[in-house]
Structures are given as structure tokens and as C-alpha cells.
């Protein structure tokens, strides 16, 4: 897999960054995340995972956002 292939956000490790490519989620969840600034082209950084691996904490547009792993699976990113 080349570095340009979109991968699920949930596959990044803490400290890794990626650009959002698309959100393949249920319409209500997709809309909520778009309203919070998680739009295509946005850079996000994985800060950490909860002790049991869910949820994960991201840094997006200068603030911290927690997402369930199931939601992060539907967000395709390109590593940067």
C-alpha cells in the first residue's frame, strides 16, 4: 500500500497525522462531525487511545475530539 491510499482513521497510532479524505458514516453522525470541523482536507492528529482502545482522542483544528472506534473506521484519511 502506498502512502497515498486512504486508510481508516482508526488504524493510526498515537502521534500519527492524516488528512481527512472522506466520511463514510450514517448521515446524522456524518453531519455532526462535519459541524465539529472534521471536514475533507482537515489535518488531524491521534493523541491517544483510552485504556481499552475505545474511544480515541484526536487533535483537530486546535481542539481535542474523542471518537468511538466505530466512527473512526468510517473516516478515511491519507497519512501525512
pTM value > 0.85: yes
Terminal CA-to-CA distance of the chain, rounded, Å?
A: 14
Write down the CATH number for the domain with range 7-79: 2.30.30.90
Alpha helices by DSSP H, the chain: 27-35, 69-73
Tell me, rounded to whole angstroms, the distance of Cα 53 from its chain centroid.
14
Residues in the chain, pLDDT under 70: 1-3
Tracing cell 468510517 back to the chain, one arrives at 74
Residue 1: the pLDDT is: 44
Does residue 15 have a cis peptide bond before it, meaning omega lies within 30 degrees of 0? no
Amino acid at each position: 500500500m502506498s502512502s497515498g491510499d486512504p486508510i481508516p482513521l482508526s488504524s493510526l497510532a498515537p502521534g500519527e497525522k492524516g488528512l481527512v479524505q472522506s466520511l463514510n458514516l450514517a448521515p446524522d453522525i456524518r453531519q455532526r462531525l462535519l459541524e465539529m470541523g472534521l471536514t475533507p482536507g482537515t489535518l488531524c492528529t491521534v493523541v491517544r487511545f483510552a485504556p481499552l482502545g475505545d474511544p480515541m482522542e484526536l487533535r483537530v483544528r486546535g481542539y481535542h475530539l474523542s471518537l468511538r472506534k466505530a466512527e473512526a473506521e468510517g473516516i478515511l484519511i491519507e497519512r501525512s
